[in-house]
Structure 1
Amino acid sequence: MSKEEFAVFAGKYMDMIYRVAYSWMKNSHDANDVTQEVLIQLYRTTKEFESDSHMKNWLIRVTVNQCKMLFRSPRNHMEDIEDYAETLGFEDKSYLDLFCAVMKLDKKYRVPLLLFYYEGYSTQEIADLLGLPGKTVSTRLFRAKTKLKVYLKEE
C-alpha cells in the first residue's frame, strides 16, 4: 500500500476504528492506542481488499482483536465516561444521556449496538465480524435496547 493510499484510507476509517475501540476500552487513551496499532497493521498489510466494504470489515475485525489483546493487559484502566462525553460536545442533553447509557452497557451488548445503529451493519455482518451466531447478535441487540430503556428511565 502506498503512502498516498494509506493516507486516504486512514482518513476515511480512523473515526470508525476509534469508535469501535472506545466502545470496547471505555477510555480515550486506550482507544487511541488501539487506533494507532490498527492503522499500523493497515499500513503493513499485504492483503488485497476486494472493496471498501471488505477493508472496513477487516479493520473492524482487527480493531476488535487488538482491543481484546489490550483489554487483557494489566495496564487497562477506565476514565469517567461523562468527562469524555462532554469533550465530544453534544449540543443536546438527550444525546449525552444516550451516549452515557450506551457506555454503561456491558461490551457484549455495547459493541453490537454500535455496529448496528452507528456503523450500519446487519445482524449477520456483525455476527461474522464478532464470530457469533446471528441469533446471538439479535438477542444481544434486543437486550441492549431493553437495558437502555431502563437506564434512560432512571435518569
Structure 2
Amino acid sequence: MNEPELIRRCQNGDQQAFEELLGNYELLIYNLTFRYFGNHHDASDLGQEAMVRVYHKIHEFNGRSTFKTWLYRVVTNLCLDELRRRKHQAYSLEELKEKGVEPAAAFRNPEDEAEHSEQARLIQEVLLGLSLEHRTIIILRDIEGLDYNEIARIIGCGVGTVKSRLSRAREAFRKQLAGRPRYSGLLEGRMQA
C-alpha cells in the first residue's frame, strides 16, 4: 500500500495502517531522538512518545509538506519540549559511556570501526553541548541531510533564517571541536556519525 493511502487510512482510525506507516519511520524517529538525548534509554522512550503523539496528531497532517517533513517537525518539537522541561545539561564522554551510548559502526576493519566509533561519540558529545537551536539545525541539515526548505518548514522559519542559524551553529560546533586537536580533521568536512 502506498504512503498516501496509508495516511488516509490512519486518519480514518485504521490501527494496522498506522503501524505499517510508522514501521517505515521507526529508525528515523529513533536516530533523531538519539541525536537530541545521546543515549538509548531516552531515545527509546521519546521515540515511543513520538509515535503516540503522531497517532494523536495524524488527523492534522494536510499534505502541504511531505509526511516525512511533517514527522520531523512533530518529533523535533517533542524533543525540544522535553529538553526544555528537563533543563537538560550536556553529558561528559564518560557519562555517555556509562549510559551505554554506542553509535552503530559502519566499517569492517576493526581499527576503522574503533576510530569511527570514537568520532561518533565525540560528535554526539559536542552536539549535546550546543544550544537547542544550534543542535536542532545541525541535526536536521548535517546529520539527517534535509534541505533548507524542509528545515524551514520543520522549525517554522524562512530559508534565509535557516541558513544564518546553520552558519552560527556550525561555528559553535567548530569552536567546541577545535579544543580537541586530534579531531581537527572533522572540521574540514560534513559532520557524520
Q: Fold match, TM over 0.5?
A: yes
Closer/same/farther in 2, CA of residues 105 and 131 from structure 1, 3 Å limit: same
- TM superposition score normalised by structure 2: 0.63
Which residue matches 1:71? 83
Which residue matches 2:32? 20
Deviation at 1:108, TM superposition (A): 0.7
Closer/same/farther in 2, CA of residues 29 and 143 from structure 1, 3 Å limit: same
Aligned: 1:125 with 2:125:
no
Deviation at 1:39, TM superposition (A): 0.8
Q: Any conservation in 1 of the 2:36–2:128 contact (CA below 8 Å)? A: no
Q: Give me the whole-angstrom Cα distance separating, in 2, the residues matched to 1:144 and 1:12.
A: 30
* RMSD of aligned Cα (Å): 3.0
Which residue matches 1:46? 59
Which residue matches 2:159? 134
Q: Secondary structure at the match of 1:32?
A: helix
**Among 40, 43, 58, the residue aligned to 1:31:** 43
Structure-to-structure mapping, 1:103-114, within 5 angstroms: 103-114=128-139
Paired amino acid for 2:73: R
Which residue matches 2:6? none
**Among 76, 83, 87, the residue aligned to 2:102:** 87
Deviation at 1:48, TM superposition (A): 5.9
Structure 1 range deviating more: 105-114 or 11-20: 11-20
> % of aligned pairs identical?
25
Between structure 1 and structure 2, the one with the greater Rg is: 2
Q: Give me the whole-angstrom Cα distance separating, in 1, the residues matched to 2:168 and 2:51.
A: 32
**Aligned residue-pair number:** 154
